[in-house]
Amino acid sequence: MTTEIDRPLVISAPEPRTLDLIFTPQARVALEARYRIIEADPDAIAALGDDVLSQARFIIGQPPLDHNTLERMPQLRAILNVESNLINNMPYDVLFARGIHVVTTGQVFAEPVAELGLAMALNIARGIVDADVDFRHGRELWGGDGNAKARLLSGSNVGIIGFGDLGKALNRVLSGFRTKIKVYDPWMPASILIDNGVQPATLEDVLATSDFLFVVAAVTSENEGFLGAQAFAAMRPGAAFILLSRANVVDFEALMAAVESGHIVAASDVYPQEPLSLDHPVRSLNGFLRSAHRAGALDSAFKKMGDMVLEDMDLMDRNLPPMRCKRAERETVSRMRSKPVSVN
Amino acid sequence: MTTEIDRPLVISAPEPRTLDLIFTPQARVALEARYRIIEADPDAIAALGDDVLSQARFIIGQPPLDHNTLERMPQLRAILNVESNLINNMPYDVLFARGIHVVTTGQVFAEPVAELGLAMALNIARGIVDADVDFRHGRELWGGDGNAKARLLSGSNVGIIGFGDLGKALNRVLSGFRTKIKVYDPWMPASILIDNGVQPATLEDVLATSDFLFVVAAVTSENEGFLGAQAFAAMRPGAAFILLSRANVVDFEALMAAVESGHIVAASDVYPQEPLSLDHPVRSLNGFLRSAHRAGALDSAFKKMGDMVLEDMDLMDRNLPPMRCKRAERETVSRMRSKPVSVN
Amino acid sequence: MTTEIDRPLVISAPEPRTLDLIFTPQARVALEARYRIIEADPDAIAALGDDVLSQARFIIGQPPLDHNTLERMPQLRAILNVESNLINNMPYDVLFARGIHVVTTGQVFAEPVAELGLAMALNIARGIVDADVDFRHGRELWGGDGNAKARLLSGSNVGIIGFGDLGKALNRVLSGFRTKIKVYDPWMPASILIDNGVQPATLEDVLATSDFLFVVAAVTSENEGFLGAQAFAAMRPGAAFILLSRANVVDFEALMAAVESGHIVAASDVYPQEPLSLDHPVRSLNGFLRSAHRAGALDSAFKKMGDMVLEDMDLMDRNLPPMRCKRAERETVSRMRSKPVSVN
Amino acid sequence: MTTEIDRPLVISAPEPRTLDLIFTPQARVALEARYRIIEADPDAIAALGDDVLSQARFIIGQPPLDHNTLERMPQLRAILNVESNLINNMPYDVLFARGIHVVTTGQVFAEPVAELGLAMALNIARGIVDADVDFRHGRELWGGDGNAKARLLSGSNVGIIGFGDLGKALNRVLSGFRTKIKVYDPWMPASILIDNGVQPATLEDVLATSDFLFVVAAVTSENEGFLGAQAFAAMRPGAAFILLSRANVVDFEALMAAVESGHIVAASDVYPQEPLSLDHPVRSLNGFLRSAHRAGALDSAFKKMGDMVLEDMDLMDRNLPPMRCKRAERETVSRMRSKPVSVN
């Protein structure tokens, strides 16, 4: 039997998540059986005693950490960031130099976001929301009369901007639609895109040729607001612009103007302010499908975080590198700009 | 050059379609170049002269035909029914005995219906319509707060009732979702289902185990109303019932009651009466997504009919059997019960 | 319980197959439980009494039948030809006029033939036979030294001539190789090829652009010897020609000459005479991979015939059309030229 | 135009490869245009002047490096090891601490190895080598007579031991065969296997249930000889054992004995000694298909190395992490035991 002393020590500070949010009851049992869990105030890790710090193998969460505290943690192998945006609140250079892995679990959102993205595309293609609302009010149009603007996703030209976990998940849910998919991702070698069965393309090409354009790029120090009036003007008339990652990558005013003018149609899960003011014009904008940052935050996604954490801690317990979560990288950790979430 | 006399003669009576609806301009040019087209009143085929009837190779449409008229058409090779429901207005036994093919083009609707069906499933799974309506009115819930009932299609149990063209198209658009698909289709050998990567199942099994249940069965003399209160009661709590073929296969009152009770959620493209009375209770039923028989009637689908007709006429011109359209079968022609459409 | 009198009557004359060859023990039990089996000499069907003929619902096999015998069989619904080449030994026009289905089970060979065809392509690409023979004799070349002519199938240009069951099965086993597949099949509408994810092409195009060319076309009255010296000369230098259907579609001498000259490499499962004379030059031809008509004749394939027969008889017992086997067609039955097999 | 001074400096020491082996002429031009290439004797890197070492951004190859030399290379960002086995000839701890990437290009071999592995499986399943050899000598068996031991890969149970690049490539080429694939890989989280559509399994399970078993595991300090007499005895009678990675993971004598006894059949691309002595008993062993370490070493694979190197250097030039090649990992670099190759 595993005794108290054998179990590796884990500091738990998963705010804004909670262990109950990210672990199923069974996974929680497995966690407790295999590890000694010390629940800690994320803002007071330094206040923990050396008996804890000196033995801690893993941290679940991303509490602020300073050099001194890290020096008191000689056994630390990984910080498992379950919020999944990386805040600049710890000396990453020290962590990388020491070989302490910093991993994030944002991949859990890929599948739910991709499903909502596909749903948005199909909704726009078939006018489902307005058709149902019209039906409620007795003004529905029947058969072909209601399909004046309807079109198929199958066989269409699809663009994807950003080919991380979200882009790959979109590619997968699109696999039954025989679409031609072009991808713009300057951080990704062309050959990896080709291996994934999509065509590498410039931003200009993706904008100009897509019938459905999905934006799943992370915000970085280089791409804030890179999709503006000029980009929307370059799109095909009637094309659908579907925003799933972060509002900061677009000029939101310009996006609304492009929809208002009738040039394109759009859907978005993200907004410049969240929550959004009650009088924001996007609320009444025709040709715009709204979702209130609901794409990823499914309970099943949060529970998958716990599973990923357990799998990677198991690998590291066996002196293997983590493979399930995504590792923060020296080169890019300081270039990420997504704001952390305050609610789950 | 093809002279007037060389071109095979085609009687055109495509009502309620029109040649302009089902042929693109280019296809229309090809049609006229290859065939001599005689446009005829479908109710007066017998009134056509023997110069026409004796030479007619194809009929586009399904006009009423009697024994006598057919005897006057010794060269007739096929009736290309572009409405696609088979009406009992011609002596099919004579046609079959003579080897005159009766073919239908309903397959064109498979892809648009499948896309709408998938869209309905994703809409139900993520509450997209209500979320957008709430957002318009400033009462949206953000993030996880808005996802209390949200769930994934990926990895879920899917049931499909009927595995004709619609069922196969659904299977295809579902291919990126890693669902486990069970199919009930008593007209289809189990091994064909297995070859298509789905699991053959009884109706009871499909009802009891599906998270999402798609009904795409044609109405026959044997299955009218076969999905009633008992069937809905057998479904999983919260499961989604998505009706895409014909309202007659379900007891619509029982379906509404099952949704009203909160036991299941539903979507439908078809109704007992179409158009539906303005005070029909389904118009205000929560948990029910409505579409006014818009699933198939896309312009691109109608245009595909013309392409199919041209491809099969070309095969028959070369003394090959038609392969693109679906052939009416001696065994089943009299068992079909779908009412023909009056509007496109 | 099913009594003697209830069970439909089946005349069994499956030569050159036997019931034991085509039915597993379990399937044989199912067959006997559901049907009354009368084993008959195929050359003496007319000699059967009217008690048998008048009640026969199905014939398993393709015994010679004349008008008179067929008239004595008013209940006959289908002839299930398990040899699978159609011999001209019965009045097909009468059968078609009466709606008696003539079905064949050749589809069972598609999967084994496709697997052997792929194996041949990979063998040619990697020189596997010669490498193993060299290794046996201690003259093998190691690593890259042994790969001077080696190449990948992945990403190559593939041609398929004929897109019936064999062509479709080849397309399926090739699905993991990211090949670009062009198909020449004049009996198949282009749109069906496109639906199957392959590109319709002319014979000239397929010959000129393929790195690997698979011939799976049936022999018809129109295509005997259609692949001759000119066709082989049009192929890419070093391309692989893989013959899987029938030797009669090629000019075999010209094929050998093209291989002998070093212009192409080849593999074949079929030969102008079978068995082949001991001094036939193909036996010692370098660049030619030989298989002695073994592509389809696997025990598992024969057993699948019985399963198909049972499934289709079950459909017909329920007044549904057969779907599992392939139906003979009025238009093409007389154009097929494959010689029947004498051994299994 | 890029001047001499602008181009980053690359030390080239790719032995046993050469730049000509791993770069196509076009890629070589791109390399020279973007980088200043210093070709160096791998055994004399320390002898290079500080003008070179102080500016070197990349090393192509894996020359021996000591602490002192590395200190003289402050700009070094990556060592691109194109041999692809990691030799213990440099202080990896220093490299990791400084964030200098060590990457390998072994992934180029995945596709050719997978194709040969599939070819071996199909060869074993259909007895292709012996059939061709028999045909040459006029003793071939025709049709079913030659298929006594023939079987299908389609629908069979497949086992894969090791799920790195090779395992994934095998999974891909098997995708058209409807096999049930179980994978044993103790270094890989179960959920990643499931995401790849394969079933995680224990070694015992994979051994006991596979009809075709592919071994693509790298040799580590823990798994040398882990497949021995007991493992082979646990396999299904007649199952196929296909060895593609390194001979050291098996007890080769025991493998030969298991084949000799008739319990299993086998194929191998690797051997305990390479080249193998002329009197080695595997040369005449029936039921064993031999290949002389030819699985990966295709010219097209070597050329892909250069492409990968260029893509990753481009990412690093833009301060992005390498993504195309595989990174050596702190945890595992010292556990790898594959001997480097001496010939390409």
Tell me: the pLDDT tens digits for C244-265? 999 999 999 999 999 999 999 9
The first and second tokens of residue B136, run together, are 């318009």
Q: For residue B1, what pLDDT band results from cuts at 50, 70 and 90?
A: very low
Q: Calculate mean pLDDT across residues A42-52.
A: 97
Q: Calculate mean pLDDT across residues C21-42.
A: 98
Q: Give the nearest chain A residue to D328 (CA atoms).
A: A321
Q: For residue D84, what pLDDT band results from cuts at 50, 70 and 90?
A: confident
Q: For residue C339, what pLDDT band results from cuts at 50, 70 and 90?
A: low
The length of chain D, given as a count of residues: 344
CA–CA separation, D156 and A114 (whole Å): 33
The first and second tokens of residue A186, run together, are 């300057």
CA distance D134 to chain C (A): 9
CA–CA separation, D75 and D81 (whole Å): 18
Q: For residue B221, what pLDDT band results from cuts at 50, 70 and 90?
A: confident
CA–CA separation, B101 and C42 (whole Å): 32
Task: Give the neighbours of chain B: at least 3 Cβ pairs within 8 Å.
Answer: A, C
Q: Identify the contact set of chain D against chain A, taking CB-CB distances under 8 A.
A: 96-99, 187-192, 307-308, 311-312, 314-316, 319-321, 323-324, 329-332
- Residue by residue, DSSP assigns B106-139 as GGGGHHHHHHHHHHHHHHHHHTHHHHHHHHHTT-
Given a cut of 70, whether residue C337 has pLDDT beyond it is: no
Given a cut of 80, whether residue C5 has pLDDT beyond it is: no
The first and second tokens of residue D116, run together, are 């040969």
Q: Identify the contact set of chain C against chain B, taking CB-CB distances under 8 A.
A: 96-99, 187-192, 307-308, 311-312, 314-316, 319-321, 323-324, 329-332
Facing D292 at nearest CB: one of C115, C135, C300: C135
Which residues of D fall within a CB distance of 8 Å from C297?
143-144, 147
| Nearest of A338, A297, A127 to residue B141 by alpha carbon | A297
What separation in angstroms does the CA of A183 have from each of A94, A160, A170, A171, B314? 35, 5, 11, 10, 40
Residues pairing with D199 in the sheet: D182
Facing B175 at nearest CB: one of A136, A176, A290: A176
- Amino acid identity, residue A340? P
Contacts of the segment A226-233: beta carbons below 8 A, 24+ positions apart? A227/A161, A227/A251, A227/A255, A228/A254, A229/A254, A229/A257, A229/A258, A231/A203, A231/A207, A232/A257, A232/A258, A232/A263, A232/A264, A233/A258, A233/A263
Q: Calculate mean pLDDT across residues D259-286.
A: 98
CA–CA separation, D309 and D235 (whole Å): 41
Given a cut of 70, whether residue B236 has pLDDT beyond it is: yes
Contact C270, C246 (CB under 8 A): yes
Strands D326-327 and D101-104: antiparallel
Which residues of D fall within a CB distance of 8 Å from A330?
99, 321
> Helices H, strands E: what count in chain C?
13, 13
CA distance B204 to chain A (A): 28
CA distance A189 to chain B (A): 24
D128 against B1, higher pLDDT = D128
pLDDT score, position C335: 83
pLDDT score, position D6: 81
Share of residues in chain B with pLDDT > 90 (%): 92
Given a cut of 80, whether residue C336 has pLDDT beyond it is: no
What separation in angstroms does the CA of A272 have from each of A243, A247, B330? 12, 5, 63
Element (H or E) spanning A160, and its range? strand A157-161
The first and second tokens of residue C188, run together, are 């198949």
For D149-181, what is each residue's pLDDT tens digit? Answer: 999 999 999 999 999 999 999 999 999 999 999
Q: Calculate mean pLDDT across residues C227-255.
A: 97
For A252-307, what is each residue's pLDDT tens digit? Answer: 999 999 999 999 999 999 999 999 999 999 999 999 999 999 999 999 999 999 99
Element (H or E) spanning A167, and its range? helix A165-173
Contact D171, D164 (CB under 8 A): no
Residue B9 backbone dihedrals phi, psi, to 5 degrees: -95, 135
D84: left (phi over 0), alpha (psi -120 to 50) or beta: left
Q: Give the nearest chain B residue to A282 (CA atoms).
A: B136
DSSP collapsed to 3 states, A283-317: HHCCCEEECCCCCCCCHHHHHHHHHHHHHHHHHHH
- Mean pLDDT of the residues in chain A: 95
Element (H or E) spanning C31, and its range? helix C25-34
Could you tell me which residues come within 8 angstroms of residue C330 by beta carbon, excluding any fewer than 6 positions away?
A: B99, B321, C92, C93, C96
CA–CA separation, B263 and B235 (whole Å): 8
CA–CA separation, D74 and D69 (whole Å): 10
b (16+ CB within 10 A) / e for D18-31: ebebbbbeebbeeb
Q: For residue C1, what pLDDT band results from cuts at 50, 70 and 90?
A: very low
Given a cut of 80, whether residue D321 has pLDDT beyond it is: yes
CA distance A296 to chain B (A): 8
Given a cut of 90, whether residue C341 has pLDDT beyond it is: no
Q: Mapping DSSP to helix (H, G, I), strand (E, B) and coil, where does residue C227 land?
A: strand
User: For the purposes of burial, counting CB atoms within 10 Å of the CB of B135, is it exposed (0-12), middle (13-18) or buried (19 or more)?
Assistant: buried
| Nearest of C149, C153, C133 to residue C262 by alpha carbon | C149
B84 against C115, higher pLDDT = C115
CA–CA separation, B316 and A44 (whole Å): 82
CA–CA separation, B63 and B41 (whole Å): 8
In this complex, do A141 and B292 lie within 8 Å of one another by their Cβ atoms? yes
Which residues of C fall within a CB distance of 8 Å from B192?
323-324
Torsion of CA C32, C36, C39, C43, to 10 degrees: -140
CB atoms within 10 A of CB B96: 20
Given a cut of 70, whether residue A326 has pLDDT beyond it is: yes
Q: Calculate mean pLDDT across residues D48-59.
A: 98
CA–CA separation, A191 and A224 (whole Å): 26
The first and second tokens of residue C280, run together, are 């036939």
Facing A118 at nearest CB: one of B122, B293, B302: B122
**3-state percent breakdown (helix, strand, coil) of chain D, nearest 5:** 40, 15, 45
Domains of chain D: 9-105+299-335 (3.40.50.720), 110-290 (3.40.50.720)
CA–CA separation, A209 and A215 (whole Å): 15
pLDDT score, position A343: 65
For C120-173, what is each residue's pLDDT tens digit? Answer: 999 999 999 999 999 999 999 999 999 999 999 999 999 999 999 999 999 999
Which residues of B fall within a CB distance of 8 Å from A120?
128
In this complex, do C294 and D142 lie within 8 Å of one another by their Cβ atoms? yes
Facing A283 at nearest CB: one of B138, B142, B341: B138
Please tell me what DSSP assigns to residue B38: E
Could you tell me which residues come within 8 angstroms of residue D246 by beta carbon, excluding any fewer than 6 positions away?
A: D218, D219, D270, D338, D339
pLDDT score, position D44: 97
Given a cut of 50, whether residue D2 has pLDDT beyond it is: no
pLDDT score, position B301: 97
Q: Calculate mean pLDDT across residues A322-332.
A: 96
b (16+ CB within 10 A) / e for A271-287: beeeebeeebebbebeb
For A113-169, what is each residue's pLDDT tens digit? Answer: 999 999 999 999 999 999 999 999 999 999 999 999 999 999 999 999 999 999 999
| Nearest of B220, B211, B241, B216 to residue B295 by alpha carbon | B216
Contact C95, C70 (CB under 8 A): yes
CA distance A36 to chain B (A): 30
CA–CA separation, C288 and C262 (whole Å): 10
Please tell me what DSSP assigns to residue D90: S
Q: For residue A2, what pLDDT band results from cuts at 50, 70 and 90?
A: very low
pLDDT score, position B2: 47
Contact C186, C222 (CB under 8 A): no
